[in-house]
Amino acid sequence: MHEIREDIGVVLKKQRYRERDVILTAFTEKHGLVALFAPNAIQSKRFTSAIELLAVSRLRFDSKKKFLQELGDDALHRLESADSVYELTSLTSDPEKLGYASLLSELVVRSLPRERPLEEVYRVFGQALKLLNEVSIEECANIAASFLFRLLQSLGVQPSLTRCGQCATPLGGDTGAELYLMAAHGHWLCESCAKARDPRENFTAKLIRAEALVTWLPSVLLPIRQTPRGIAANDSRALLGALLEHAQFHISGLQSQNLSSLTYLKEMGQPIL
């Protein structure tokens, strides 16, 4: 008895298993994150480029119970076929863009539960990858920040962005000011509240220019395609870094070990944290 399922998904992780087999992690539209066992994938040509990293592919996989037991992992499906739907060529050929795409992939793999359909997150993830594929490198951190905010929203742990967490002043009031993210508290402080704090107090804070936050803020309400452009790359990276620091506090899957894509981005001259 077979139980064949078909779905479209993005390949996020590819690990060699035994001599000739491969285990993939894919983020799919209808099944969420799934682990797929691709037998004989190292030598066989039948999967071709459809199982490469960041490939967007139509995947057919078999979830029959016996096979699952044999492999000792109840969440591993056997990949029957994979056909490329489209390729994000500029992402995979540009080392810096690849770093941002890898960061998004790592965030998805480490943050989301397995086998739970999350169609809205999948849709936004697909759009974010397409955008990274199209825009210049200067816009990539901005797009990544917009995606990360939506990921935080889908998990219900997004920071409060509009008012100071202490005095409730609107954060965009003084665009020349600098804002401090209190990652552990999930809110930002205005400059005067941050400066009034006892400097001996041990608080982790991430600094960002209010002007950058105000320019970026509409992207929270707009479709990700309409993320405001033209924010200075330094500001975008600071914003992305602040949201990442927040995410590491509030998402358990991100606390255990560092994200390897951040080390890679730093080596590529794109320091985030």
Given the rule CB under 5 A, which residues bind Zn ion?
164, 166-167, 190, 193
* Identity of the residue, 54 or 179, whose beta carbon is nearer to Zn ion in the bound complex: 179
* Least distance in angstroms from the C-beta of 159 to Zn ion: 15
Helix (H) or strand (E) holding 102: helix 95-111
Amino acid letter for position 177: A
* Least distance in angstroms from the C-beta of 240 to Zn ion: 23
* Least distance in angstroms from the C-beta of 162 to Zn ion: 12
Which among 16, 223, 47, 217 is positioned nearest to 127, based on CA atoms?
223
Q: In sequence order, which residues have a C-beta less than 8 Å from that of residue 216 and are 6 or more positions away?
A: 142, 145, 146, 227, 228, 231, 236, 239
* Least distance in angstroms from the C-beta of 190 to Zn ion: 3
* Least distance in angstroms from the C-beta of 188 to Zn ion: 9
* Identity of the residue, 79 or 189, whose beta carbon is nearer to Zn ion in the bound complex: 189
The β-bridge relationship of strands 76-86 and 21-28 is unpaired
HSE (side-chain half, CA atoms, 13 Å) at 59: 33
* Identity of the residue, 191 or 245, whose beta carbon is nearer to Zn ion in the bound complex: 191
* Identity of the residue, 141 or 161, whose beta carbon is nearer to Zn ion in the bound complex: 161
How far, in Å, are 6, 49, 228, 233 from residue 216 at the CA level? 38, 36, 6, 12
* Identity of the residue, 113 or 173, whose beta carbon is nearer to Zn ion in the bound complex: 173
* Least distance in angstroms from the C-beta of 203 to Zn ion: 14
* Identity of the residue, 115 or 174, whose beta carbon is nearer to Zn ion in the bound complex: 174
Tell me the C-alpha distance between 138 and 144, whole Å: 11
* Identity of the residue, 164 or 212, whose beta carbon is nearer to Zn ion in the bound complex: 164
Q: In sequence order, which residues have a C-beta less than 8 Å from that of residue 35 and are 6 or more positions away?
A: 23, 24, 25, 73, 75, 76, 77, 114
* Least distance in angstroms from the C-beta of 171 to Zn ion: 9
- Per the CB < 8 A criterion, the answer to whether 160 and 186 are in contact is yes
Tell me the C-alpha distance between 28 and 67, whole Å: 21
H-state helical runs in 155-259: 191-196, 210-216, 233-250
* Identity of the residue, 2 or 195, whose beta carbon is nearer to Zn ion in the bound complex: 195
* Least distance in angstroms from the C-beta of 214 to Zn ion: 16
* Token pair in block for residue 157: 């742990």
